Amino acid sequence: FSDTICPWCYVGAKRVEQFSELFDVEVKWWPFELHPETPPDGRHIDELMAPNNPRRVAMRDHLKNIAAESELELVSNRTVANSHLALEAAEFARDRGKFKEMHDALFKAYFTEAKNIGDMDVVTEIVTAVGLDADEWRAESASGRYAELIDFATSVARKQGISSTPTMVFDDRFVVQGAQDLN
């Protein structure tokens, strides 16, 4: 289970990719909206925590170091996006055989380009960049089909006790939370 605004999912996706190169596993990412309370336009990070809060600085620096260890660039995004639309776009892409490309592109847009992946124009730009039709995406988004899917998947996960991302489930019985190190 993953959310496109979760920095630990960004790191975890890279680690899962490395893990799957070492072991014969089937990986299927499921959407999980981590913060459904985030307004549609997102929130400015300073609304959540004071800019120079020592705890915030330490957390950011630690996360940047962990990302660097996984050979990932991580910039500080000033907007905490509402991830629902991005998760919808990933499912739209899954139905067209482009989930991995979309998943990776959403992470890159949010964590290396500091784009607001809760914005329709930004998400449409990413949809187009991975080779999907923008008009079809907008029509599908307007239909609400993928919004319902995200809400349902998140609801099912919460009923199963999942409350954080990333969460990996192995063989439908072993649950591992967090961006675990391969060692």
Query: So what's the pLDDT on residue 116?
Result: 94
Query: So what's the pLDDT on residue 58?
Result: 85
Q: For residue 154, is pLDDT > 90? A: yes
Q: For residue 97, is pLDDT > 90? A: yes
Residues 40 and 82: beta-carbon distance below 8 Å: yes
Length of the chain: 183
Amino acid at 155: S
136 forms beta bridges with none
Confidence band of 109 (pLDDT split at 50, 70, 90)? very high
Percentage of the chain lying above the pLDDT 90 cut: 57
Q: For residue 130, is pLDDT > 80? A: yes
Is 0.85 surpassed by the pTM of this model?
Answer: yes
Confidence band of 49 (pLDDT split at 50, 70, 90)? low
